[in-house]
């Protein structure tokens, strides 16, 4: 996985609460055995009409949101199913950052494992961003190293992310490789745990 330090990009607003992973990637697309190619199915039932045509009302189909790499969402984004196909689809579509007042736990974790940066900001800050991005092109600059997010209207906010995950994202490291270096600790743990039982 490639590393991530800063990103300047277009932000799309999706002002809906409790967006679940069933909406992000509907179940009929979970049968593939690859990690790639899910972007075309992202938000499928919202993005397309029953006839399979783009739904012009849907946020991501609006002209100002074409080419967006940052998604501004509302509370409890990514709730429900643990399907990692959700971040795969968001990433494959072109998103690199998701901003929301809160995220569901499993989805949050799944984002971090796929180079997708979930940023939690206070509700009023997210509301400002949502209003800015609604109905017009809006650019944001995200600096992961320093934990700063800025726009061209002198807005600036800081965000924090667990240092461990930050390092993983910035370096794009293979987490399993890191864990395997602790092989002795794991073996010792197993020896102790299963000796008692």
Partner 1 sequence: MGKSIIDKIWEKHVVHREEGKPDLMYIDLHLVHEVTSPQAFSGLRMKNRKVRRPDKTFATVDHNIPTDNRKVINDPVALNQMTTLEKNCLEFGIPLAGLDSPEQGIVHVIGPELGLTQPGMTIVCGDSHTSTHGAFGSIAFGIGTSEVEHVLATQTLWQSKPKTLKLEINGELKKGVTAKDVILYIIAKNGIGFGTGHIIEYCGETIAKMSMEERMTICNMSIEGGAKAGLVSPDETTFAYLQGRKYAPDGAEFAHAVKNWKELVSDSDAQYDKTIQIDAADIAPMVSWGTNPSMTSKVNEQIPKLDECKNELEQKSLSRALEYMGLQEGQKIEDIQIQHVFIGSCTNSRLEDLKQAAEIIRGKKVHPHVRALVVPGSQQVKKQAEADGLDLIFKQAGFEWRESGCSMCLSMNNDIVPNGEHCASTSNRNFEGRQGSGARTHLVSPLMAAAAAIYGHFVDVGALLSAETVH
**In the chain, what are the helix, strand and coil shares in percent, each to the nearest 5?**
40, 20, 40
Q: Is 193 in the site for partner 1 (CB under 8 A)?
A: yes
**Residue among 152 and 190 whose Cβ is closer to partner 1:** 190
Q: Is 59 in the site for partner 1 (CB under 8 A)?
A: no
Distance CA 72, CA 97 (A): 9
* In the complex, minimum distance from the CB of residue 92 to partner 1, in angstroms, rounded to a whole number: 13
| Cα 39 to Cα 29, 89, 90, 92, 152, distances in angstroms | 11, 4, 6, 5, 29
Q: Is 47 in the site for partner 1 (CB under 8 A)?
A: no
* In the complex, minimum distance from the CB of residue 154 to partner 1, in angstroms, rounded to a whole number: 27
**Residue among 33 and 63 whose Cβ is closer to partner 1:** 33
- The number of beta carbons lying within 10 Å of the beta carbon of residue 149 is 24
Footprint on residues 99-138 left by partner 1 (CB under 8 A): 102, 104-106, 109-110, 113-114
Distance CA 89, CA 59 (A): 16
Give which of 98, 73, 75 is closest to 87, Cα–Cα. 98
Among 30, 40, 66, 122, binds partner 1 (CB under 8 A): 30
Q: Is 163 in the site for partner 1 (CB under 8 A)?
A: yes
| Cα 77 to Cα 19, 127, 151, 170, distances in angstroms | 5, 14, 22, 23
Among 40, 131, 136, 179, binds partner 1 (CB under 8 A): 179
* In the complex, minimum distance from the CB of residue 163 to partner 1, in angstroms, rounded to a whole number: 5
Instruction: Write out the residues near partner 1 by the rule CB under 8 A.
Output: 15-18, 20, 22-23, 26-28, 30-35, 45, 50, 74-76, 79-84, 87, 102, 104-106, 109-110, 113-114, 162-164, 174-176, 179-180, 182, 185-186, 189-190, 193, 197
């Amino acid at each position: 996985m490639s590393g991530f330090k800063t990103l300047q990009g277009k932000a799309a607003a999706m002002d809906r609460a409790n967006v679940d992973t069933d909406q992000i990637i509907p179940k009929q697309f979970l049968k593939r055995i690859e990690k790639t190619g899910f972007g075309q199915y992202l938000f499928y039932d919202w993005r397309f009409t029953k006839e399979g045509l783009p739904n012009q009302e849907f946020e991501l189909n609006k002209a100002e949101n074409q080419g967006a790499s940052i998604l501004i969402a509302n509370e409890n984004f990514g709730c429900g199913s643990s399907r990692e196909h959700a971040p795969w689809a968001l990433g494959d579509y072109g998103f690199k950052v998701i901003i929301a007042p809160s995220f569901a736990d499993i989805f949050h974790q799944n984002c971090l494992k796929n180079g997708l940066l979930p940023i939690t900001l206070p509700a009023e800050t997210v509301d400002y961003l949502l209003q800015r991005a609604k109905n017009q092109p809006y650019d944001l600059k995200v600096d992961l190293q320093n934990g700063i997010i800025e726009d061209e209207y002198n807005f600036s906010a800081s965000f924090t992310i667990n240092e461990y995950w930050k390092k993983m994202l910035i370096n794009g490291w293979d987490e399993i490789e890191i864990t395997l270096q602790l092989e002795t600790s794991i073996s010792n743990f197993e020896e102790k745990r299963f000796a008692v039982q």
